[in-house]
Amino acid sequence: MTEPLCTAHTFELGAAVLAEIRALLDQVFEGGFSDQDWDHGLGGVHAFVRDPDGSLVAHGSVIQRRVLHDGRSYRIGYVEAVGVRADRRGQGVGGRVMAALERVIDGAYDAGALSASDEGAPLYRARGWQLWPGGIEALSPGGVVRLPEEDDSTYLRPAAGRALPGPGGPLVFDWRDGDVL
């Protein structure tokens, strides 16, 4: 039997469910999931899977960001806080979470974007996400700053019926506290 997949906007999740999701992410990232990382994953649509016993198995969210490229501002569905419990990795639950988030991207955004860890990149590539070939920058309070550490980890996926931005020039992401991407 396939475990149920739930989707909900942050405002629809109560404090108890949000605490469960945060605990899962703390476990998955072995304490490397900061308060700012948590904040980045809020304010959008969450997708999560529970085991038959009710415990959380996997989570991801998609939030809106603005990206400037080649004189245009794009509305981007940015994927955040994707994690699968260690004992359930390789069983397709991460793909189910991503499929739900991709449906949101297809219906609401120009494209999807994410910053992938080395461990997570194979999942995204297998789902058609493409490594961005250009530079990555952010519009900071002090002006545009280059983010060379993001060059080999930023992936894009076109929304259904749309094309990705062309490779000329950098992607300039909106600013936020903590890790910009």
Residue 118 pLDDT > 60, yes or no? yes
> What is the distance between the alpha carbons of residues 42 and 36, in angstroms, rounded to a whole number?
10
| Whole-prediction pTM | 0.94
Residue 96 lies in a domain: yes
Residue 166 pLDDT > 60, yes or no? yes
The domain tally of the chain equals: 1
Residue 154 lies in a domain: yes
Would you say 101 and 47 are in contact if contact means Cβ atoms under 8 Å apart? yes
What's the CATH code of the domain at 122?
3.40.630.30
Task: Kindly indicate the confidence band of residue 141, based on its pLDDT and cuts at 50, 70 and 90.
Answer: very high
178 CB-near residues (< 8 Å, 6+ apart)? 34, 36, 37, 39, 40
Instruction: Report how far Cα 152 is from the mean position of its chain's Cα atoms.
Output: 16
β-pairing, 72-84 with 111-115?
A: parallel
Residue 69 lies in a domain: yes
Strand partners, 66: 75
Residue 42 lies in a domain: yes
> What is the distance between the alpha carbons of residues 31 and 162, in angstroms, rounded to a whole number?
38
> What is the distance between the alpha carbons of residues 132 and 124, in angstroms, rounded to a whole number?
13
Neighbours of 61 (CB within 10 A): 27
Q: Two tokens at 32?
A: 């490397």
Residue 1 pLDDT > 60, yes or no? no
> What is the distance between the alpha carbons of residues 4 and 163, in angstroms, rounded to a whole number?
32
Residue 180 lies in a domain: no
Residue 74 lies in a domain: yes
Residue 119 pLDDT > 70, yes or no? yes
Containing structural domain, residue 25: 5-174
Q: What is the overall mean pLDDT for the chain? A: 93
Residue 179 lies in a domain: no
Mean pLDDT of 149-165: 89
Residue 62 pLDDT > 70, yes or no? yes
Question: What pLDDT, on a 0 to 100 scale, did the predictor assign at position 34?
Answer: 94
Question: What pLDDT, on a 0 to 100 scale, did the predictor assign at position 142?
Answer: 93
Residue 168 pLDDT > 80, yes or no? no
Q: What is the pLDDT of residues 73-102, one digit of tens each?
A: 999 999 999 999 999 999 999 999 999 999
Residue 128 lies in a domain: yes
